[in-house]
């Protein structure tokens, strides 16, 4: 929690949120793509699996997940005894929605020998149909742990699938999904940004197109990008991921400069949560996110198989 706003309305809201949080015995999680003022009131900020794991370790009875639906579902899978709230019920993920469970089921039927690996950015039902989950940070390690002769059906992100196949040197069948926020970044955008900032290193997320990744100095998860920029001596960086990441990047590295690879890399779903909605959630204990027990148990199996490997 690190909110130091001077705005009196925001100050009042933050005060009310903190008092309500205490009353409810809640923990607030914020993904690094959330608006800055939301990240500032959170107990934990980071990427989705990290947040769910941190919340599971706490004694909190209530989790307020400032992110999108699949993230709140993962929190519920890892902490089935806790109340999980998503302050904006319409905060979905177009990437996760590109893998509807019925289509995934029929693809799995077509490929009975394939090992199914699902990126955590997928619905709880899709996770429950999978052999393994993975994150953008450990997808390569998960793929390498699967016997080389096995085919891997990787979903839902085709760009992460491509990155994983190249790095892990595995045969991967990609699901044809993509994150609209990352996929819109083109090679031309990057070349333009590099011309404007010739000294800057290019750091991108593996959800970006392969031809964008080819130009990068570093490809990694949101946490990987933050760590790379914090630990590297270079003073300037072009960032190829959602613009919310600029909040922790600038905060942690006040003497470094960060430039967006494209000003358009904004996930609208991630910006739906406001301080007012967080307060409403805590006051009313809704919108509630639950995962049916059978789906939750099967999803947990795929998540645990990933955790065992990594
Ligand atoms: S940034 Fe992409 S993957 Fe993340 S929530 Fe938005 S659409 Fe989904």
Q: How far is the CA of 156 from the centre of ligand 1 (A)?
A: 12
- Choosing from 177, 205, 232, the residue where a domain stops is 177
Q: Tell me the mean pLDDT in the region 81-97.
A: 98
- In 3D, which of 148, 106, 102 has the Cα closest to residue 123? 102
The reply to whether 78 and 64 lie within a common domain is yes
pLDDT tens digits, residue range 18-52?
Answer: 999 999 999 999 999 999 999 999 999 999 999 99
Atom of ligand 1 nearest to the CA of 268: 6
What is the percentage of the chain residues whose pLDDT exceeds 70?
99
Mean pLDDT, to the nearest integer, of 95-105? Answer: 98
* Per-residue pLDDT reduced to its tens digit, 114-124: 999 999 999 99
Shared-domain flag, residues 103 and 167: yes
CATH of the domain at 106: 3.40.50.10800
> Does residue 3 sit within a domain?
no
Listed residues 124, 144, 177: the one ending a domain = 177
| 284 within some domain | yes
- Closest-CA residue to 271 (of 51, 108, 30): 30
Shared domain check, 79 and 29: yes
Interhelix angle 293-309/69-78, nearest 10 degrees: 80
207 alpha carbon – ligand 1 mean position (Å)? 9
Answer yes or no: do 163 and 231 share one domain.
Answer: no
Cα–Cα distance for residue pair 100/98, rounded to 1 Å = 6
* The pLDDT of residue 7: 85
Q: What is the pLDDT of residue 70?
A: 98
Residue 50's domain spans which residues?
8-92+270-290
Residue 3 above 80 pLDDT? no
Count of domains in the chain? Answer: 3
pLDDT above 80 (res 1): no
Is the shortest distance between the CB of 94 and ligand 1 below 6 Å?
yes
**Is 304 inside a domain boundary?**
no
> Measured from the CB, is residue 92 less than 6 Å from ligand 1?
no
Which numbered atom of ligand 1 lies nearest the CA of 179? 2
Structure tokens given for 64: 């307020």
- Mean pLDDT value of segment 200-207: 98
Q: Are residues 65 and 115 in the same domain?
A: no
Q: What is the pTM of this model?
A: 0.95
User: Does residue 31 share a domain with residue 101?
Assistant: no
């Amino acid at each position: 929690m690190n909110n130091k706003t001077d705005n009196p309305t925001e100050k009042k809201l933050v005060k009310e949120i903190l008092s309500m949080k205490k009353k409810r015995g809640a923990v607030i999680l914020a993904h690094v793509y959330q608006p800055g003022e939301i990240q500032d009131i959170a107990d934990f900020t980071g990427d989705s699996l990290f947040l769910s794991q941190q919340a599971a370790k706490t004694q909190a009875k209530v989790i307020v997940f400032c992110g999108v639906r699949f993230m709140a579902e993962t929190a519920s899978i890892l902490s089935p005894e806790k109340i999980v709230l998503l302050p904006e019920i319409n905060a979905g993920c177009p990437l996760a929605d590109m893998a509807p469970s019925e289509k995934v089921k029929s693809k799995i039927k077509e490929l009975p020998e394939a090992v199914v690996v699902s990126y955590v950015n997928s619905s709880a039902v899709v996770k429950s149909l999978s052999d393994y989950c993975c994150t953008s940070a450990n997808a390569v390690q998960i793929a390498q742990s699967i016997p080389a002769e096995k085919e891997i059906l990787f979903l839902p992100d085709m760009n992460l699938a491509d990155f994983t196949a190249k790095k892990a040197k595995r045969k991967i069948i990609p699901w044809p999904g993509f994150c609209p926020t990352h996929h819109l970044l083109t090679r031309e955008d990057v070349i333009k940004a590099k011309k404007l900032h010739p000294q800057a290193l290019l750091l991108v997320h593996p959800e970006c197109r392969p031809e964008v990744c080819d130009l990068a100095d570093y490809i990694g998860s949101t946490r990987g990008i933050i760590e790379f920029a914090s630990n590297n001596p270079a003073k300037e960086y072009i960032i190829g991921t959602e613009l919310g990441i600029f909040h922790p990047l600038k905060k942690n590295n006040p003497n470094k400069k960060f430039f967006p690879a494209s000003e358009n890399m904004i996930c609208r779903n991630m910006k739906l949560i406001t301080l007012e909605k967080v307060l409403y959630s805590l006051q009313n204990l809704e919108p509630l996110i639950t995962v049916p027990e059978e789906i939750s148990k099967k999803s947990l199996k795929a998540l645990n198989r990933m955790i065992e490997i990594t």
